[in-house]
Amino acid sequence: METRELGKSGLEVSAIGLGCMGMSYGFGPAADTREMVSLIRSAVDLGVTFFDTAEMYGPWENEKLVGEALAPVRDRVVIATKFGWDIDEQGKGTGKLNSRPERIRRVADESLSRLRSEAIDLFYQHRVDPDVPIEDVAGTVRDLIAEGKVRHFGLSEAGVANIRRAHAVQRVTALQSEYSLWWREPEAEILPVLEELGIGFVPFSPLGKGFLTGKIDDSTTFDANDFRNTVPRFSPEARKANHAIVDLVGELAARKKATPAQIALTWILAQKPWIVPIPGTTKLQRLEENLGSVGVELTAEDLREIEGAASLAQGARYSEGSQRFIDR
């Protein structure tokens, strides 16, 4: 597996990471713990060194899973986790943001315990909290870095202004936000700022929450607890319209003797050398398929051919309620 540096931070990780959220949260019932421990360890064997989790995934359960799976190889991997949501004592999310300094410190200590780690490699603010100045957030993480509890600071779904303000206090190693062939908004303002400041980019949902794999159509049904049921872009009408994207990618994949998922990931890797996508899966076959995208080559002509795909996407990427947590 080739490696990439996240911006100019000195943090080097595998060119493709593994998003672990769906193993415990968001896409229906949690997967079997033993099977997921085995899957994460298989990822390490296949060369993955970058694993993404968050205290909110579960809550807490995903960090415990990742901590258990990676404990035997902790010195060989980079673990990213996140703070920023309010969670009650019973482990239930309140639906509110909370990035107060005392909360950040508490999350750091509790995440270290769940992850069985001496330090958090990359600590993201999960969403920008409008009630807490970003300078206070960055300053708190800066102090945690000085104390040896955290190694790198990250932001998720942050806008340009807050990226700059945070970076002025504590170097931002990476921004994690959605980016894929069917969500290219970061290209307009975000990517230029990241390049200017030497910040890495970690796209989540690089396969369009599964849509770009070609396995989902307008007749697909999701588990009652799958958050895609609330996403406008996954309404039956939008899925039917958006399948034109998958058709286009699928045609190119057939010519390249690859899969649509591999083409979608290869396209992301081709955009910038400091971009590291983190597709998630609960299946070894899909993990191997995703990692195989590193060996797929797209020519300049291929890239031009799929440039028009994004213009076909229809539907909002989040429900109206979730949109309020996105920083602009």
Active site residues: 57
The answer to whether the CB of 126 falls within 8 A of the CB of 93 is: no
The answer to whether the CB of 23 falls within 8 A of the CB of 30 is: yes
> How many Cβ atoms are within 10 Å of 211's Cβ, its own excluded?
28
Burial 218-234 (b: 16+ CB within 10 A, else e): eeeebeeebbbeebebb
Nearest CA to 35 among 226, 210, 282, 280? 282
The partner residues of 201 in beta bridges, in order of sequence, read: 175, 275
Nearest CA to 287 among 13, 23, 3? 23
